[in-house]
Amino acid sequence: MILFDTTAAESWRHASGLARVSRRLRTELGGAARDARWPGMRAVAGAADWVLTPELFSETERPGFADFLKRRPCRCAAVYHDAIPIKFPGITWPRSVERHPGYMKLLARFDRVWAVSAASRRELLGFWKWQEIAEPPPVDVLPLGADWEGHARASAPSAGARASGPPRLVSVGILEPRKNQEMLLDACEALRREGLEMELHLVGRVNPHFGGPIARRVAAMQERWPGLKHHTHMDDAALADLVGTARATALASIAEGCGLPLLESLWMGIPCVCSDVASLAENAAGGGCAVVPGNDLEGWKAALRRVLTDDAFHGRLTAEALSRPLPTWAAAARLLREALV
């Protein structure tokens, strides 16, 4: 039996990438798994069982967990996301920065680990090498699903795309420096000064530690730009409808573990303009995306201008998005089921 770790899941009140991974994997695993929480899982885990966790954890948050992993009365597997709190401590939630080094060390005590991208896999293996961990567990890549729950994959250019009015960009992600919405705002402001009108919809809550300046800038810009919208919360159905009306989505992040909004945009047949951080470039390589080098304002202006105004270019990206292979949550769950036997 797979005991699926839901220790923190019941307290989540937001749709972060981590929460989305946990929810979709649990749904697709279905009867092959049952929920388990710390510390109760200690009493129910037998030698033939697997504990599978997609969560973040620490010995402080889960007293006794390090000893549990050391003794391993059952087999243990984890889904690893990224090392962002270690790489960018100055713009990451303080609790995450405090937890993350210990979390990544504890992952070395698992029997199996799956990383959410090849870039994340390299990060984790590099961290263990730096820590001189002699016998790390095997780490494979788990391709995360592009599919929206309840939405079939688009097979033709979106019928919901706007036929009139300014073209629409949608950017999904918490408002914070890591998501780099400031770059999108800079590029769109510059294009509007050139006479190119567009809508920009930002979808995501505000990071209470670091998102305030971005939210205040958005509010100030909305006074002179009616087409700038900020949605602090949207359920999946409303978000899918919004993405389906977009000319393109945009992800300017300076760090990502996977970049689910890119994959989900392609599922809807909507091209994505994204930064060239390793995980986004990895997922963009199959087509349907315009990849912008680094934190380059001129590059962002050029890429957004082209996707908004060049119908031939936009049509080519749309065709690539509609035709390229995309991973699904069902396939991710099947991979885990077949491995955890």
Please state the separation of Cα 69 from the chain's center in Å: 27
pLDDT over 70 (residue 163): no
CATH topology of domain 2-145+328-339: Rossmann fold (3.40.50)
CATH 3.40.50.2000, applies to 168-323:
yes
pLDDT in tens, 319-328: 999 999 999 9
Q: Where in the chain is the domain with CATH 3.40.50.2000?
A: 2-145+328-339, 168-323
pLDDT over 70 (residue 299): yes
- CA-CA distance, 245 to 168, in Å (whole number)? 7
- CA-CA distance, 251 to 48, in Å (whole number)? 42
For 106-113, what is the mean pLDDT? 97
Write the DSSP string, 74-111: SEEEEEE---HHHH-GGGS-HHHHHHHHHHHHHGGGSS
> Residue 162's pLDDT band (boundaries 50, 70, 90)?
low
pLDDT in tens, 39-65: 999 988 899 999 999 999 999 999 999
Strands 248-251 and 228-231: unpaired
Q: Which two tokens stand for residue 232?
A: 């602090």
Write the DSSP string, 111-137: SEEEESSHHHHHHHHHHHHHTT-SSPP
Q: What is the pLDDT of residue 159?
A: 62
pLDDT in tens, 237-292: 999 999 999 999 999 999 999 999 999 999 999 999 999 999 999 999 999 999 99
Amino acid occupying residue 187: A
